[in-house]
Structures are given as structure tokens and as C-alpha cells.
Amino acid sequence: MALVLDTGPLYATLDRNDAQYRRCLDLLQDTLEPLVIPAPVLVEVDWLVHTRLHAGVFLALLDDIVAGAYRVEELQPEDYRRIRELCDRYADADVGFVDAAVLALVERLNEPKLATLDHRHFRVLRPRHVDALRLLPEEQA
């Protein structure tokens, strides 16, 4: 088992001013499972860091990856078939490549949960392996 990270929670842990910083940091620090970053998520995080923070923050994330704090999971050929299917099926819901790639990876890893702040998209997406994903951190009441 692993905790797959979407862009939102990963970015939030890098930006102390982010409203979700503490919740996301606690989630990542409290999990005993390996932390998995889908490779396309890194591109989004890089863009966010470079537009909102500074390059040193992304370099620190890369240092953490090299040190083994995170595992980056590359997409496989079968993932691209699933991504294409998802992008086509959910085109009207504005589901893009990265969200589709995250779901394809979650399915391939047979994970019933996902660390994401994008509940709007991931509540719409229907995974093949479970009725619905458990989205973490849980939404606050």
C-alpha cells in the first residue's frame, strides 16, 4: 500500500502560507505508507512553486525525492490508454491530463485512497477498482 499524492497536498506542504498547509503536512507526516508522486504531478508542482514561491523550494523537494522521502511513479504504456479514455469520457467535466494520470496510477496500484484537495474532480471520476476513492485529507465540516 502507498499514499498517492495529487498536486494540491504536495504543493500545500511546500507553502507555509497555504490554507491547507498544516492539514496536508500532518497527513504526510502521519502516514506509515510510502509516499508516491505520479510523475506528471511534479510538473504542476514545479509550475506552482515557480509562480508563487521560489526555485529553492522545488530544489528542496527534489532533494527529498533523491533522499527517498518520496517515490516518483512514472506512467506505463497501459496508463496512457486509460488516461486517454478518462480524458475523453470526462471532457465536459474539465478533467485534464494530470488528474486522469493520477487516477490511472491509483487504479494500477490498486489504491482505495488518494491525497488530493481536488474533491470536485475526484468525486466525479469513477475508478475501476473501487466504488469511490477515499479522498484525504477528509473535507472539514
Domain ranges of the chain: 3-129
Taken in order 107, 111, 116, 122, is the CA torsion positive or negative?
A: positive
- pLDDT averages per 10-residue partition of the chain, 141 residues: 97 98 98 98 98 97 98 98 97 94 98 96 94 90 59
**Domain at 3-129, CATH class:** alpha beta
Alpha carbon distance 120, 104 (integer Å):
17
So what's the pLDDT on residue 50? 97
CA distance linking residue 30 with residue 37, whole number of Å: 17
Return the C-alpha cell found at 51: 509562480
Q: What is the pTM of this model?
A: 0.95
